[in-house]
Every structure is written in structure tokens, then in C-alpha cells.
Amino acid sequence: MKKLWFLCLSMTVLLLGGCNLVEGINSSNESEENSASEDHNDNQSNPDDVYVPVQEYTGDGYTLANGKETDLIANENRDVVEDAVKQFFQEEYKTEVKVHQIVGNVDGATVFVESVGEPHFYTYAIVPIDKANESIRTDKVWSQEAAVEDAISAGIYGKVQEEKFHNLTTLIENVAKQYNLVGLQDEAISVGANLYSNEYYFTSIFDEEPFIKVLNNYLDDPNQTINEWNKMLNIKKLDPNSIGITINLYMANEGADPDREAFDQLVKTIEKAKNIPKGNYAIFLHDNLINKKRASGSKDNSLRKSTPEEIIKE
């Protein structure tokens, strides 16, 4: 619960239109529930303009509140925005990044990035824009409190637990193959700045305290060995509730409702798994369509195992 205040603050910021990272900043369990009701509202208006098969979704169409004007300015000056963001991450975090989507928000552009090399993570920065003069404020790049820090922490956790995350991916792939399920396209993974993530799952940091030491050491020297990170993090003492792992799968066939048998098998597989990362697991199975504006598959018919029935893996 240590991050509840921050999550509520984040939601306030999102609703004001500064940044609307539906699945990345919010808690892994709450975000899917919230986006389901939002997606229901979208479905009531122009569903053909909002939903696409998940296999076709590459991140195009993702929008933030009140960002139409700044989106145009930012993308017309993409090189300037990219250079400013890359410089920000080098100076503030000693991290090389590559830029993916640039999306306008009420006062600027939210820029989704991916770290180059290890530890690997997705995060974002915000570039203010002077709309009156259509100028990019390259000297004022920033990111919301703990957003980048949580991404770094999750990336280090992913590196230290690399083998166990590989096992998790394999287990999910086996269920997906058996029941004809799919995850996101590679191009869409960066949308939402979902820390350590792949096509099937993303992570959330619920308690920053266990990661303070590794984060401080990263800021001093990002180029440390996995053994050094492992000693600093001390996985054995890590509370599994410190980190959330949210699994999202989709039906491969358009028009198919979420399959209860497939969902139950996925839940059972995670519950019985022995060699997967510690964490607080939430599981969602959606139909084939994803809301391209929100990068979310959650709808009224989605099947879910989340708060208060999440799976805790020690």
C-alpha cells in the first residue's frame, strides 16, 4: 500500500490531461479495471474508430487528453524532440535510450522510450511545448516522480530474474499455443511505458524501498554485473507484494469471446508454477480487439483474476 498515494496522484494528473499512461503508471490490478469502464464509454460512441484487432495494433492512434495541437507540433519537430529526450536520459540517468512514440499532451509531448542494452526497460519523458510560438522547450524536459526510477528498478529486477522471467514467458506461450491466444505486437510494447515488459506481461513497482540501493548504484554506475545487482537486491528477502506482474492475453480469432477454459488453464498454470519471478500476479484475458486510443484490451467481457484475488508467488 506504500504506493497508493502516488497511484492516486498519478490518476489525478492523468485525468487532468498531462499524461494518460493507462497501463504503465497505474497499479497493474487497478489500471485494467479502470480502463474497462473507459473502454465501455468508447464502445458506446464510435467503436469502429476506436477498436482494432490486437494483431494489427502497433501503437498508432494512442492519444492523450487535450493533446491534438501539441501532437502535431511535436511530430513536425520529431528530431528536436528526440535529441532533447536522449540528452535528458544521458544527463539525468546515464542511460542511452531509443525513442518510440511521441504523443501530444495538454502542455507538451509524452515521449515513450526504450533503454538500449541492459538492464532493459520502457519508460517516458515529457517535453513541454509553447503552443503560442509552436516551440519545443528542449531545456525543460522532465518525467513524473518515480516513473523513470521505477522503470530502472524493474529492469534490474528483470535482469536478476532473467531465467525465471524466461520460464514465465514459456509457460504463457504454451497456454497461448494450446488455446489460440496472442499477446501484443512487438511495436506496441513500448506504448504505456510499462517498465520491464514483453508482449504478454508488464511489471509495476508497488514498493520502492527494496530497490533504493540498486537504484542509487545504477545512478552512480549503470554498468554493473548481474552478480552485483543480485547482491544489492537480495531477492530472498524481497516481499512479493513489492512488485506487480500483469499478464494480458487476447483471443486470436476476431469475434471470439474470452475463453473461460483457456483463462482457467492460464490461472492454474501460474498458480502451480515453481520457477517464475516473485511477485503479485494479475491475469486478464480479452477478446480480439484493443482500444487503440488507450492501448487497452479491457472491456466488460474480459476475464480477470486481480485484486482482491491476485496470485502471490513467493
d(CA 194, CA 192): 5
Mean pLDDT score across all residues of the chain: 87
Q: Residue 4: is its pLDDT beyond 60?
A: no
Q: Is residue 37 part of a domain?
A: no
Q: Which domain holds residue 291?
A: 152-313
Q: Is residue 24 part of a domain?
A: no
Question: Whose CA is closest to 107, among 77, 75, 132, 79?
Answer: 132
Question: Whose CA is closest to 104, among 53, 149, 147, 70?
Answer: 70
Q: Is residue 219 part of a domain?
A: yes
Instruction: Please answer whether residues 1 and 8 qualify as being in contact, where contact means their C-beta atoms are separated by less than 8 angstroms.
Output: no
Q: Is residue 263 part of a domain?
A: yes
How far CA 38 is from CA of 32, 70, 149, 269, in Å, comes to 10, 23, 28, 30
> pLDDT, tens digit, for every residue of 37-56?
444 444 445 566 899 999 99
Please give the angle made by the CA atoms of 155, 159 and 164, to the nearest 5 degrees.
115
Q: Is residue 41 part of a domain?
A: no
Q: Is residue 211 part of a domain?
A: yes
More confident residue, 123 or 9: 123
Confidence at residue 262, expressed as pLDDT on a 0 to 100 scale? 98
Q: Is residue 116 part of a domain?
A: no
Dihedrals phi, psi of 258, to nearest 5 degrees: -55, 135
> pLDDT, tens digit, for every residue of 193-218?
889 999 999 999 999 999 999 999 99
Q: Is residue 183 part of a domain?
A: yes
Question: Whose CA is closest to 299, among 269, 258, 243, 247?
Answer: 258
The DSSP-derived string for 181-249 is EE---GGGTTTTT-BSB-SSEEEEES--GGGHHHHHHHHH-S---HHHHHHHH-GGG--GGGEEEEEEE
Dihedrals phi, psi of 12, to nearest 5 degrees: -60, -45
Total domains in the fold of the chain: 1
> pLDDT, tens digit, for every residue of 71-95?
999 999 999 999 999 999 999 999 9
191 burial via Cβ count (<10 Å: 0-12, 13-18, 19+):
buried
Confidence at residue 48, expressed as pLDDT on a 0 to 100 scale? 65
